[in-house]
Amino acid sequence: MLEKIDLGVTIDKETYRQEKERLTTRLGELQRTLHDMGIPVLVLFEGWDAGGKGTLINELLMPMDPRSFRVYNFKKQENEEELFRPFLWRYWTKTPEEGQITIFNRSYYSDLFYRKSTDTLSMQRLMKQANEFEQTLSEDGMIIFKFFIHISKKEQKKRFDKLLDNDITAWRVTPRDKKENKHYDKLYKKVNRGLELTDNDCAPWAIIEGEQKDYALIKVLSILERRLEKAINDVKMTPKIKLTPLIEVGDKPFQSKILDGIVLDQVISEEAYQSQIKEYQKQIRLLQFQLYRERIPMIIGFEGWDAAGKGGCIKRLTRNLDPRGYTVYPTASPSDIEKKHHYLWRFWRDIPKNGHIGVWDRTWYGRVMVEPIEGFCTQEEFDRSYREINEFEKQLSDWGAIVIKFWLQIDQDEQLRRFTDREGNPDKEWKITEEDWRNREKWELYKIAVDDMLLKTSTVDAPWVIVEAQSKYYARIKVLKQTIAAIEKRLDN
Amino acid sequence: MLEKIDLGVTIDKETYRQEKERLTTRLGELQRTLHDMGIPVLVLFEGWDAGGKGTLINELLMPMDPRSFRVYNFKKQENEEELFRPFLWRYWTKTPEEGQITIFNRSYYSDLFYRKSTDTLSMQRLMKQANEFEQTLSEDGMIIFKFFIHISKKEQKKRFDKLLDNDITAWRVTPRDKKENKHYDKLYKKVNRGLELTDNDCAPWAIIEGEQKDYALIKVLSILERRLEKAINDVKMTPKIKLTPLIEVGDKPFQSKILDGIVLDQVISEEAYQSQIKEYQKQIRLLQFQLYRERIPMIIGFEGWDAAGKGGCIKRLTRNLDPRGYTVYPTASPSDIEKKHHYLWRFWRDIPKNGHIGVWDRTWYGRVMVEPIEGFCTQEEFDRSYREINEFEKQLSDWGAIVIKFWLQIDQDEQLRRFTDREGNPDKEWKITEEDWRNREKWELYKIAVDDMLLKTSTVDAPWVIVEAQSKYYARIKVLKQTIAAIEKRLDN
C-alpha cells in the first residue's frame, strides 16, 4: 500500500488555516452527536517513529469534550501483566464504551510490525486475530479508524538529527530509533505487507503523508469528518430493533436433540464418592503446579440449568487448589459500565495470566441463552454470536490455554425437587429466587437454545462436556475426572 | 506481639469436626447477611512461608457464595505497573465493594516486612500510610481482618524439607525460601516490631498459631464469626442518616472569607496572550520530558464555578504535551460500581505512573462541595473528608508527586454572562444544562463550602492556587505559569 504514496504532497497556509478551523468545529459537533447517540469510536495511530503522531493526536483532541475521549499509549514492548495474557487482551480491555472516542497511540499493529519472527505464534495467525477483533467490534457498532503516518527514510533521519542537535531533546532519540532508521527498508517491506493483509472493509487503513504536518492534519481530520458523518446517518437510517423472544418453541425440521439424548441414571455410592473425590482433588493440585510451572493457562466454564449444581462442582474442583493460581468469576447481570461495551468485554477483562486457572460460574454463553430469550439482544447480534464466541475461544486456545466447558444437565422433575428443597431449608432458601421460577417456565425455550449452542460451539479446541448432574456425586466426580483428563492430555503433548 | 505466643496449642479431632461444621454454616449465613446489608469485608493473610495460608483460604471459601467474594494474591515482588505507582495503589484499587468479601493473600505488610531498608521512603512513613488506609476504610464501614499465621523456624524448616523430599513438590521451595528460613531470627524481629506498630483498633492483628492446622482454622473462623456478628449488630443499631444540606447559609462567627477577598480585575491583551501562551506551551513541553526522564509524577486538579473555564485552561495546558505522558480525567457522577466503594477509590484507580502527568477536570473535592450540599454523604462522612483528602494528597506527595490544585474564580455576574452566551450559541449550548442553573441558585452554599475547603486543604505539599478567571486569557496564562513554576521548583531541588 505504501509504494503508491506521493510523499511530496503539501497544502498552502491559507487553505490549512481555513480548513482547520472548519474541521475542528465540525468534529466537536460530531463528537457530541456520537455521544448522544451512544456510538463508540476507536482511532488507531500507527507509523514511523518521529512521524508526528503525538502532535496529530493533540490537535485532534483540541475540539473535543474531555468527558468523552480517552488516549491510550502503547509501547512496542509489553509489560509483564500484558505479556502473560493473550495477544489482544490489552486492547480489548481498553475499547471505548458507547458514546466514547478512544485513541490508541500505537496498537497491536506495532506488536505485529516490530515482533521478531522467532515468536511462536505466526504473524498470519495474529493478523487473523486483529481482523476478527475489528470485525467483531465494528459489527457491534464501533467506528474504527486506522491511520498510518508515513514518512521516508530520509525525512526520518532528518527529524532524528534535528532532535540530536539539541541538548534538551537529544535523549529522545534512542539506540532503537537509530536502528529503525538504519533498517528502514527492511521494516518497510514488513509494514507494507502487514498493511495489505489487515486492510478490511470494516476498518480500512488510511495512509497519511506525514512529511508536511499541515497536510497530514487536514487529511486526518477530513477522513474523520467524512466517515463519522456517514456512520451517524447509517445509524439513524437503521435503528436497532429488539424482538422478543428470538427463539421460538415448536419443532423445526432437523432440529437437533442433544439434551433429549442424555441418559441421566448414573449414580455413585457415597463411599465411592468420598474416596474418589479426595484422590482426584490431590491429583488436580499437583497438576495445577505443573500448569503453573509450564505457564499453561486454563479456562473452565460452567453452564447448566438452575439448581443443576454448578456451585457445588466448582467448590469441589477448587477445594485443594492453591489460591494463588486460580480465580472463580461468577457472572451476574452486567453493570451499567459493562452494558456499554461489547458483551465479550467483561470476559476479556478477567482472562487470567498464563499458568493460572480461571473458572466461570456462568459464562459468555448467556449471550446465546438468556439474551435472545429475554430480548436483551437483536436478531443480528444473536446471529453473530456463535461465530464471535468460537473466535474468542480459538484465540484463547491459540494463546496456549486449555479451554473446557461443562454443561450440567438435570431434568425438570429433579429441578422442581431441588427448588422445593431449597425453599424449605433456611440455609438454602437464599439460593432460590422468583427469577428461577420464571426461568423454569421457559424450559422449552432454553432447551432449544442450549441444543443449538452445544451443537455450534463445541469445537476441538474448546469442547463442551455434558455432565449428567441428576446425581450430585456423579456430577462432581465427572467434572474433576474430565478436568484432570484435559490437563493430562495437554501435558502429554 | 509474637513473643507471648504458645505455638504448642492444639485442638482434638472431635472438637475440630464439630466446630468446623458449625462455623462454616454460620459463616455462610453471615456472608449473606453482610451482602444484603451492603457491608464490605477485607481479610488479610500474612505470615511465614509454608505457614499454610493457602489451605486456610480455601477452607474459608468453602461455605461462601462465590458471587460475593474475591481473592487477590500479592507477590512479595511487585510488577512494573505497580512499582511505578504509589505504595498503596495496588491495594486501594482492589478493595471490596459494598457487600463483598475480599481476601488478600499477602498484602502491603509483606511489602513492609520484606522490603530492604535501603529503600528511600522510610518504613515508618509507609506504616503510617498503612494505618491511614485501614482507618479510612474502616470508618467508611469496611470490616478489616488481619491474620498473621505464625510458625517456628524449626517447623518451617520441617515443612520445607518435606516438600524437598518429594520430586513433584521440591521445586516449590525456592532459594528465597531457604534464605528466609536461614535468616528467620532476623526477620522475626522486623516482623514483630512491624506487627506492634500496625496493630490498631479499627484493624487489629490476630496472631494465628499455625503449627497444628486444625487449630489454626478453627481460630480463624471463630474470630471471623465473632467480629462479623458484632459488626452486623453495630450497623443495625446505628443506621446512616443523610441530612441535607449539611452546609447552611448564614454568617458564622469567624467564618473565613477567602473568595470575597479575591480581586478579579486582571486583564491581558490578546496580543500579549498569544505570544505568551505559545512560549509557555513550548516550555512546558520540555519540562514534561524532564519529568519523564526523572520519573517524577505530577497530579493537577481543576475545580471552580461552572463556566469558570476549566476545560479551556486544560486544553491550553496540554496542547503541546506529548500524549504519551499525560492523561486528562474528567470527573462525572460516579457509576454504580464506583458508588459501592469509598469515594477516593475511583481516583486511586486513575493515579498515573511516575513520570506521567494526570490532570483532573473536577476532582475528589466533590466530596466536600456537591456531596454535603446535595445530601450525598452523611455528617460523619463529611467530617472525615478533609483529613482523608489531606492524607491522600500527602501519600501522593510522599510517593514523589508534584501535587497542585487550581481554583478558578469568577463572580456571579460573569457566570450569568457566560451561561447566557452559551445558551445563545449553537456550538456552546451543549455545555449548559438545567443542573448548572440549579447549582447557580446554591451559590451562597457553595461559597461557604469552598471557603472551608480552601482553608483546610491547602497544604505545603499540595497547595491550592487561586486563579482569577474573569478574564479567560489571564486565567490560562496563570495556570501555565504556575504549573511551570511548580515543576521548576521541584527540578531545582
Sorted by where each begins, the domain ranges of chain A are 13-237, 259-492
A377-381, B131-135, B474-478: which range is least confident on average?
A377-381
Contact B323 A105 (CB under 8 A): yes
Contact A70 B327 (CB under 8 A): yes
Residues in chain A: 493
Q: Which residues contact A164 (CB under 8 A, 6 or more apart)?
A: A170, A173
Contacts of A171 in chain B (CB under 8 A): 289, 293
Nearest-CA distance A260 → chain B (Å)? 31
Contact B328 A66 (CB under 8 A): yes
pLDDT tens digit sequence for A441-480: 999 999 999 999 999 999 999 999 999 999 999 999 999 9
CA distance A112 to B14: 62
In terms of CA atoms, which chain B residue is nearest residue A73? B324
Q: Residue B20: its pLDDT value, please?
A: 95
10 Å CB burial of residue B222 (0-12, 13-18, 19+) is: middle
Confidence bin at B299 (pLDDT 50/70/90)? very high
Q: Please name the amino acid found at residue B249.
A: V
pLDDT surpasses 60 at A120: no
Mean pLDDT, range B214-231, rounded to an integer: 96
With a pLDDT cut of 70, the percent of chain A lying above it is 96
pLDDT surpasses 80 at B270: yes
Query: Which CATH number fits the domain A13-237, given the four candidates 3.30.465.10, 3.10.129.10, 3.40.50.1820, 3.40.50.300?
Result: 3.40.50.300
Q: Residue B233: its pLDDT value, please?
A: 93
Q: Residue B316: its pLDDT value, please?
A: 94
**How many C-beta atoms lie closer than 10 Å to residue B138's C-beta?**
17
- Region of residue A375 (left: phi > 0; alpha: psi -120 to 50; beta: else): left
B172-186, B209-223, B317-331, B421-435: which range is least confident on average?
B421-435
Q: Residue A339: its pLDDT value, please?
A: 94
The answer, for A22 touching chain B at a CB cutoff of 8 Å, is no
CA distance A347 to A362: 11
pLDDT surpasses 70 at A121: no
Contact B61 A323 (CB under 8 A): yes
pLDDT surpasses 70 at A77: no
Same fold: A13-237 with A259-492: yes
Q: Residue B80: its pLDDT value, please?
A: 65
Interface of A with B in 55-74 (CB under 8 A): 57-58, 61-62, 65-67, 70-71, 73
- Distance separating the N- and C-terminal Cα atoms of chain B: 41
- Residue linked to cell 518435606: B162
Which residue from B61, B286, B335 is facing A168, i.e. has the nearest CB? B286
Looking from the CA of A416 toward its CB, the CA atoms found within 13 Å total 5
Contact B323 A169 (CB under 8 A): no
Looking from the CA of B181 toward its CB, the CA atoms found within 13 Å total 19
Mean pLDDT, range B418-431, rounded to an integer: 87
Contact B361 A67 (CB under 8 A): yes
Nearest-CA distance B257 → chain A (Å)? 32
For domain B2-237, give the fold: Rossmann fold (3.40.50)
Comparing CA positions, the residue from B293, B200, B299, B309 lying closest to residue B491 is B293
Mean pLDDT, range A80-95, rounded to an integer: 87
Confidence bin at A43 (pLDDT 50/70/90)? very high
Contacts of A61 in chain B (CB under 8 A): 315, 318, 323
The answer, for B29 touching chain A at a CB cutoff of 8 Å, is yes
Confidence bin at B119 (pLDDT 50/70/90)? low
Q: Which CATH superfamily is domain B259-492 in?
A: P-loop containing nucleotide triphosphate hydrolases (3.40.50.300)
To the nearest 10°, the Cα dihedral for A49, A53, A58, A60? Answer: 180
The answer, for B100 touching chain A at a CB cutoff of 8 Å, is no
How much is the mean pLDDT over chain B?
Answer: 91
Contact B29 A330 (CB under 8 A): no
CA distance A227 to A139: 15
With a pLDDT cut of 90, the percent of chain B lying above it is 74
Mean pLDDT, range A90-96, rounded to an integer: 95
Cα angle B118, B120, B125 (rounded to 5 degrees) comes to 110
Contact A61 B323 (CB under 8 A): yes
Comparing CA positions, the residue from B329, B314, B317, B415 lying closest to residue B364 is B329
In terms of CA atoms, which chain B residue is nearest residue A338? B337
Mean pLDDT, range B33-55, rounded to an integer: 95
Which residue from B66, B289, B323 is facing A71, i.e. has the nearest CB? B323
The answer, for B361 touching chain A at a CB cutoff of 8 Å, is yes
Asked if residue A313 lies in contact with residue A476, where contact means CB atoms within 8 angstroms, the answer is yes
Question: Which residues, in sequence order, are bridge partners of residue B467?
Answer: B408
In terms of CA atoms, which chain A residue is nearest residue B168? A286
In terms of CA atoms, which chain B residue is nearest residue A25? B427
Q: How much helix, strand and coil, in percent to the nearest 5, is found in chain A?
A: 55, 10, 35
Contacts of B213 in chain A (CB under 8 A): none
**Most B-contacting residue of A33, A79, A427, A430 (CB-CB within 10 A), to test interface:** A430
pLDDT surpasses 80 at B78: no
| Helix or strand (DSSP H, E) at A488 | helix A472-492
Confidence bin at A117 (pLDDT 50/70/90)? low
CB pairs under 8 A between A and B: 104
Q: Residue B217: its pLDDT value, please?
A: 96
Contact B330 A67 (CB under 8 A): yes
Nearest-CA distance B424 → chain A (Å)? 16
The answer, for A435 touching chain B at a CB cutoff of 8 Å, is no
- Grid cell at residue B102: 475480599
pLDDT surpasses 90 at B65: no
The answer, for A319 touching chain B at a CB cutoff of 8 Å, is yes
Interface of A with B in 447-466 (CB under 8 A): none
Contacts of B217 in chain A (CB under 8 A): none
Comparing CA positions, the residue from A85, A53, A86 lying closest to residue A72 is A53
Helices (H), B169-308: 175-182, 184-197, 213-237, 270-294
The answer, for B28 touching chain A at a CB cutoff of 8 Å, is yes
Q: Residue A119: its pLDDT value, please?
A: 60
In terms of CA atoms, which chain B residue is nearest residue A105? B324
In terms of CA atoms, which chain A residue is nearest residue B336? A336
Asked if residue B340 lies in contact with residue B98, where contact means CB atoms within 8 angstroms, the answer is yes
Confidence bin at B115 (pLDDT 50/70/90)? confident
pLDDT tens digit sequence for A279-288: 999 999 999 9
Q: Residue B77: its pLDDT value, please?
A: 61
Confidence bin at B67 (pLDDT 50/70/90)? confident
Q: Residue A4: its pLDDT value, please?
A: 85
With a pLDDT cut of 90, the percent of chain A lying above it is 73
Contact B54 A80 (CB under 8 A): no
Contact B289 A169 (CB under 8 A): yes
Interface of A with B in 113-152 (CB under 8 A): none
Sheet holding A357-361, edge to edge: A326-330, A357-361, A298-304, A402-409, A464-468
The answer, for B427 touching chain A at a CB cutoff of 8 Å, is yes
**Most A-contacting residue of B315, B362, B431, B476 (CB-CB within 10 A), to test interface:** B315
Q: Which residue has the higher pLDDT, B344 or A244?
A: B344
The answer, for B166 touching chain A at a CB cutoff of 8 Å, is no
Contact B427 A25 (CB under 8 A): yes
Contact B66 A314 (CB under 8 A): yes
Contacts of A71 in chain B (CB under 8 A): 323, 327
Burial string for B14-30 (b: 16+ CB within 10 Å, else e) reads eebeebbeebbebbbeb
Contact A54 B324 (CB under 8 A): yes
Contact B323 A293 (CB under 8 A): no
Q: Residue B425: its pLDDT value, please?
A: 86
Q: Please name the amino acid found at residue B381.
A: E
The answer, for B272 touching chain A at a CB cutoff of 8 Å, is no
Q: Residue A153: its pLDDT value, please?
A: 96
What string of DSSP letters covers A61-105? HTTS-GGGEEEEE--SS--HHHHTS-TTHHHHTTPPPTT-EEEEE
CA distance A345 to A330: 15
- Residue linked to cell 497491536: A108
Residues in chain B: 493
Interface of A with B in 191-230 (CB under 8 A): none
DSSP state of A251: -
Contacts of A103 in chain B (CB under 8 A): 323
Q: Which residue has the higher pLDDT, B413 or B123?
A: B413
10 Å CB burial of residue A153 (0-12, 13-18, 19+) is: middle
DSSP state of B489: H
Highest average pLDDT, of A387-391, B70-74, B239-243, comes from: A387-391
The answer, for A168 touching chain B at a CB cutoff of 8 Å, is yes
Q: Which residue has the higher pLDDT, B40 or B240?
A: B40
Q: Residue B57: its pLDDT value, please?
A: 93
How much is the mean pLDDT over chain A?
Answer: 91
- Grid cell at residue B457: 486543604
The answer, for A354 touching chain B at a CB cutoff of 8 Å, is no
Contact A332 B25 (CB under 8 A): no
pLDDT surpasses 80 at A425: yes
In terms of CA atoms, which chain B residue is nearest residue A79? B80
Contact B171 A318 (CB under 8 A): no
Contacts of A336 in chain B (CB under 8 A): 335-337
- Distance separating the N- and C-terminal Cα atoms of chain A: 41
pLDDT tens digit sequence for B333-378: 999 899 999 999 999 999 999 999 999 999 999 999 999 999 889 8
Asked if residue A375 lies in contact with residue A271, where contact means CB atoms within 8 angstroms, the answer is no
pLDDT tens digit sequence for B243-259: 667 887 776 767 778 89
Mean pLDDT, range A276-296, rounded to an integer: 95
Contact A323 B71 (CB under 8 A): yes
